Structure formats: C-alpha cells, structure tokens
Structure 1
C-alpha cells in the first residue's frame, strides 16, 4: 500500500513544480509585451524627436502616438494566426512563436536610424517594427492566460490568472524603473542613445522567456481534448463566429472599456502629466511606478475574493467605476497637486483591477477547441479600436477642444455605452469544468 502512496506523492510534486514553471514562463512573455508597450509610452516624446521631422513638436508627438496605435491594428491578424496555432497545434507552440517575434522586433527598434540619418524612411521603419510587435502581441497575453488557467487547479483559477496578470503591471513597473535608471545614467545622452538600450534590453529578456517556454509541458486541458475527445477543429475561427457570435460581441464591449482605461493609464497619462500639467518627467515616472506597484497586491486580493465568491460582482463594480470615476480623476490631475495626482492614479488602478476579472470569465465561457481564439479575437479587435488609439485620440481631443477634461469625457461615454452589456452579458462562471467543455 505504501508504494502507490509514494507514486501519487511524486506525481503531485511534479505537478506543482510544472505549474510553477508554467506560471513563470507565461509571466515572462507577458512581462516583455507590457514592458515594450509601456517603454514606448514613456519614451514617446524622445521617439517623436528621433523619428519625425524637427520644427513642430506637437505634430511629431501626434506622429509618435499614431505609430503607437498602429501596432494595435496588427493585433487582430496576430489573434487569427496565433489563435489558430494555439487551438490546433497547442498553446505552448503559439506562445513560443509569439515571444520570439516580439523580442526581435523590440530589439530592432533600438537599432533603427533616425530622421536625421535616413529622413522619411525612419518613421516607416519604426512603423514596420511596431506592426510586427502588434502582430506578435495578438497571441501573447490571451495565450499566456489560456495556457496558465488550463494548468491551474479548478478552485484557484482566479489566483493563477492574477499572478500572470500581475506580470502586466510588473512589465509596466520594470519599464518605468528602467526608464528612471537610464535617464539618470545617460543624462543628456538619453535622447540620442539611452532610450535605444532600453529596447535592446527588452529583446534580451524575450530570449530568456523563449527558453523558459520551451521547457514546460502542454496544457493538460488541451491534451485531454486531443487525446480523449476529438482533434481540434480545422477552422476554429469559423466555428467560433458561427456558434459564439453573441459572446464575441459582449467581449468586444468588455475589452473595449478595459483597453481604453488601461492604455489611457499606461500610454497617455505619463505624457499628459508631463506635457499638459507640467510635471517633471522623473516625478511622473516615480508616481506611475508607485501606482503600478500598488495595483499588484490589489489585483491579487481581488483574485482571492473571486475564487471564493465569484467573478461577476467585480466586473459589474469595475464597469460602474469606469463610468463615474474617470472624470473626477482628471479633475484631480488638473489641480497639479502631487497628492491629487496620486489619488487619480489610484482611481485608475481600482477600476482596471476590478474589470480585469472579466478575462477569467472569458476563458471559462468557451469550450477548449476555440478557447484560445475566443479570447484572442475580441481582445485584440477591441484593443485595436479603443486601446491602441487611446493616447492618439486623447491628444487630439485636448488639442482640438482645448479642454484637459476631453479624454476623460470620451472614456466615460464609451464606458456608459458598454455598461448595459457588461452588467447583463457576462454570466457567473465560477466552478466551470474546463476539462468537460
């Protein structure tokens, strides 16, 4: 009787070790994605001066934000390609390919010639790199969550999702920390060469992530589908659109609100605080870093509650917060007070952290054969429309209306339109058996 007990104990230890490795491998890739995108937001003013013609700072900044947004246009294509790979070939294969492509494009951005060297070719090359980044990101975040949640114990899926989700904020924290260090170390040379080394560093981290992902097992839920039930669907996106189109529309609304708030927070507010409010760049970086650090324990605490009490109440609270709290947050920022800015940033942290629980409900809504694609398509389509354009639209609204509140009103209106869908359209999914779907 003792031998079987030892065998089970050994299997259990191996299972726990593999879950930890999956968490780490998924988180590193997710870290790189958000590290890259946040770096671009913090370096937007320098990128504008490097890759666009001199003489018109406002136009150059708009150009830099436009390139930021264009990367999101390629995300839906990446969702189709990597979703198909993930649902047919396996989650691990898709994740390995996405992080390799992402790392190469990011490192190359740090090596591109500027406007002074090659003229109009400079922004074109920057645009190409950003498109490749966006394409690879189309399979990264959604794939990492799918892979991790399918490895997780059923009663701790929110906790596992929260640990991987925290890597997004860790990526943002890492980017701000690196930006602070490099600005200090390079001084006046940051605008000419310092910012480039930040992107090269991100490419190196991506290589580490690739190695880690090659050392983990495939998702047991995916293996169970392939071995016990039937082969993966030949056309997962066709099956997805035909059978789950209502869910896709609900999730497009959900990810639209989440993407707008997230990228207004990460991609636009640092520049807004610096350019429109007049805060020093180092102060802005320090405050946003602190806000991102605070968001991690907040998000993990909400995940514990979600495993105990369900997901839906948090989604509803986050949806209401997105409607009623963004304008007050911008009013606080407009005072110029450091304490008021801190309070405003915490408002964004609160709203985004509550809304992020909807990502788990997304995964639990779908059957295994379309789960990767069902997460990737609405997420990336919504982020292309609302997330990637958030900095550009916000800057255009401020410039066009002269009102510093215009971006907040825009975000609140979008959240208000989506509110009925978010309140009624996302069901409670706690307790769903992923292996039985």
Structure 2
C-alpha cells in the first residue's frame, strides 16, 4: 500500500526528528573517543592515584553499561511506549553534555571531577540504547515497505554523520587550539532542541494497537494465545547477536588497525591519520545515504549479502597488503573499499527486527545490540592486539573470517524467515 503525499511528508518529518537524536548520540560518543588525549589529562592527570585506570574506564564505560541501559529503556519502551523513550534518552544525553561542558577539572574539585565525568559517560552509554534502537523501532512500527527501509536507513546514516562531525570537530579544535568544552556545549544544544521537538511525535501505531489488544484480552480466554504470540524465538535472538557483533570490529578495522599500519610503516603523523579518517567517515556517510536510496528498488537483504561477499574478498587480501605493500596510497584505497563494503545489517535491520514480537521487541533488540557490540569492542581492542603482535596483520583473519561466517549465516537465516512469512501472507490473501 502506497503512502499518500501527506503521509510521506509526516514520515519524512518524523525521520528528521529521530535522526537528530541519533546524530547527537554518535557525535558525543566519538567526540570523547577522538578527544580523550585532551580531555583525560584534565580529569585524570598522571600524578593522581588511579588516573590511568579511571581514564580508561571512562573511555570504555559507554560500552560496558550499554546492556544495562538496554534492559532499562527496552522495558520502558515496551511498557510505556516508544515516544517517551526517545524523548527521555535524548534529554538524558543532553544533561550529560551540559555537565561535561561545565564540569571543573581534577585540579579544582579533585576526585569528584573524575566520578562525575565517569557518571556522564555511563549516562551516555545507557541512553544510547534507548535512542538508536528506539528511533529504528519507532519507524518500523510507523511505516510500510519499501519506504520503511529508506526511512530507517536514513536514521542509520545519522550515526555515521555524527561520527564524521565528531572527528571534524576534533580536528578543528586541535588545529586552532580551542577548548574541547565548546564541542560538548554544541552537543547539549542539539539534544535540548531535539528533545523538545520530539514531544510532537505521536506514538507508533503498531505498538498502540498491540498494547490495546493485550489489555483487552488480558483476562479472556485468548490470554494463552496472546502469550504464545509474544514469545521470543531464541534462535532469532542468537542470530541477531551475530549480526550486531560485527559493527565495532568494522570501526576498529577501518579507523584503528589500518591507520596503525600507515603510522608504523609509512610514518604518518596523528594529523595525517585524522585526515584519512575524516575522508573515510565522509565516504561512509555518502555510502549510507546512497544505500538508503537504492533500497527503494533493490531488496535490502540482497544489498547486505552483496556487500558481505565483496567484504570477504577484501579480507582475504587485506593482511598481505598491510604487511608487504610498499605504497601508502594502496592501503588508503583499501581502507576506502573496506568502508564502502564493510559488514553491516543496515539497510535490512527492519526485516531482522520485525521477526520479534511487538511488545518485547524493544527490550530484545536493544539488549542484542548492546551485548553484542560490547563483546565485539573487547575483541577489537583487547583480543586482536596480541594476535597482531604474534602474527602481524595476518592475525586479523582469526577474527574477521569467523565474524563473516556468523554474519552470513545470520543473514541467510532471516532471509528464510522472511520468505516463509511472505509465502504465508500470500496464501492467506488467496
């Protein structure tokens, strides 16, 4: 069923409102990551006891506390609604931004500065789960295919745009010697604006309908049937974990491990690496927007599968090139190609999410994303370093190839579920 012009306009406005919050979350997340070398000395100076440990904890706490945030805001989203969740999480992120921008350093208030900074990072990590997942699920339950895939892909592209602006901001501040606090003040302004604007959203109609049916049938003979229909398929949950697990590893590969080769083998400076990563992030945003448009004419699962096949070919040639190629330009080109064809569930995520019951969808999807990405960050930042120390760039195969296999199997699994549903739907319409 096609959208009317009025519906299309309303859905476009909703997508824009949701994209603001998603942009903010990833802007804040990567702003701290890229500017840790500037921020940490202010709150975790070398002379203070435990500063090294606390500084690293502040950096990683965003990912460590994501599963807790997923359980909290997933439950809120499934009980109270999608709208209130995306509003609350945006405002929480804004409060954290304001606090970080105005927070005195260690020299002024001592350990209190460290505790408050870590608390702000924890809030950012927890609220991110309600923000990103809430935006995607909201649009899933508001719109219909094929434009559903376009709207959700545009929200997903806001994550890359947030990372790009964070990196560009870091580059600008380092180049001109400005205070990092201005960046977080800017983030808080976006959060407040986005949070207020989102109060105009209406609740996702699919959630509202399912909630009313549940309340109507709660004490009727249909309760058992209703409970069965809301049961989560464990196999689907496990395969969703596999799809989400690739994301942090893809970031580490593109923006950490390949740039390390440019630094170690070709003497690239920190500024050179930032410039390369800026180019990579720009390419990522362009590709995301292009895919959002292509998905209107090509099946999103086909797009995901084609990209995965090309990525496997790149992975097979990646270590030899990183180890032996004498030209930095070839490695930069390879970095760009990995950015274009990296493993990612988008733009097929609405298909994956739709196979979970509406009234448990938020909790399941958010927790799967949070748990899988936290585990993958550990692989990309902790486990992979010893492998590279022993096997060089060839150590990448030990993680990338198994991740590809799991990802490919997961996509095939959901593709089969989708075909079964389409067949059943076609049979019921006859």
Query: Which TM-score band (shorter chain)?
Result: 0.7 to 0.9
Structure 1 range deviating more: 420-429 or 159-168: 420-429
Structure 1 pair 423–243 and aligned structure 2 pair: CA distance change class (3 A): closer
Q: Is the 8 A contact 1:23 1:148 kept in 2?
A: yes
Residue 258 of structure 1 corresponds to: 247
Residue 301 of structure 1 corresponds to: 290
2:39 pairs with one of 44, 47, 61: 47
1:216-250: CA deviation from partner (whole Å, max 9, x where unpaired): 222222233334x334999xxx9899532111111
What SS does structure 1 have at the residue aligned with 2:78? helix
2:14 pairs with one of 22, 35, 53: 22
Indicate yes or no: 2:380 matched with 1:390: yes
Q: How does 1:81-120 map to 2 (within 5 A)?
A: 81-117=72-108
Residue 300 of structure 2 corresponds to: 311
Residue 153 of structure 1 corresponds to: 144
1:344-369: CA deviation from partner (whole Å, max 9, x where unpaired): 33233223365423422222222322
Residue 24 of structure 2 corresponds to: 32
Q: Is the 8 A contact 1:44 1:61 kept in 2?
A: no
1:54-85: CA deviation from partner (whole Å, max 9, x where unpaired): 389xx988865553322212111111121122
Structure 1 residue 407: Cα displacement: 6.8
Partners of 2:381 and 2:185 in 1: CA distance: 24
Structure 1 pair 331–182 and aligned structure 2 pair: CA distance change class (3 A): farther
Structure 1 residue 173: Cα displacement: 1.6
What SS does structure 2 have at the residue aligned with 1:365? coil
Structure 1 pair 172–418 and aligned structure 2 pair: CA distance change class (3 A): same
Partners of 2:109 and 2:385 in 1: CA distance: 27
5+ residue gaps in structure 2? 219-226
Q: Is the 8 A contact 1:66 1:392 kept in 2?
A: no
Structure 1 pair 301–217 and aligned structure 2 pair: CA distance change class (3 A): same
Number of matched pairs:
409
Structure 1 range deviating more: 289-298 or 276-285: 276-285
Q: Is the 8 A contact 1:35 1:171 kept in 2?
A: yes
TM-score (norm 2): 0.81
Residue 224 of structure 2 corresponds to: none
Q: How does 1:235-384 map to 2 (within 5 A)?
A: 242-265=231-254, 268=256, 272=260, 276=264, 278-321=267-310, 323-326=312-315, 328-329=317-318, 332=321, 338-352=328-342, 354-384=344-374
Partners of 1:175 and 1:22 in 2: CA distance: 24
Structure 1 pair 73–289 and aligned structure 2 pair: CA distance change class (3 A): same
Structure 1 residue 27: Cα displacement: 0.3
Structure 1 pair 395–48 and aligned structure 2 pair: CA distance change class (3 A): farther
Q: Is the 8 A contact 1:251 1:362 kept in 2?
A: yes
Structure 1 residue 264: Cα displacement: 4.5
TM-score (norm 1): 0.80
Partners of 1:402 and 1:52 in 2: CA distance: 32
Residue 196 of structure 2 corresponds to: 211
Structure 1 residue 210: Cα displacement: 0.5
Partners of 2:117 and 2:252 in 1: CA distance: 20
Partners of 1:68 and 1:410 in 2: CA distance: 26
Partners of 2:165 and 2:216 in 1: CA distance: 37
5+ residue gaps in structure 1? 1-10
Residue 221 of structure 2 corresponds to: none
Residue 405 of structure 1 corresponds to: 393
Q: How does 1:126-205 map to 2 (within 5 A)?
A: 126-186=117-177, 190=178, 194-205=179-190
Q: Is the 8 A contact 1:232 1:369 kept in 2?
A: no
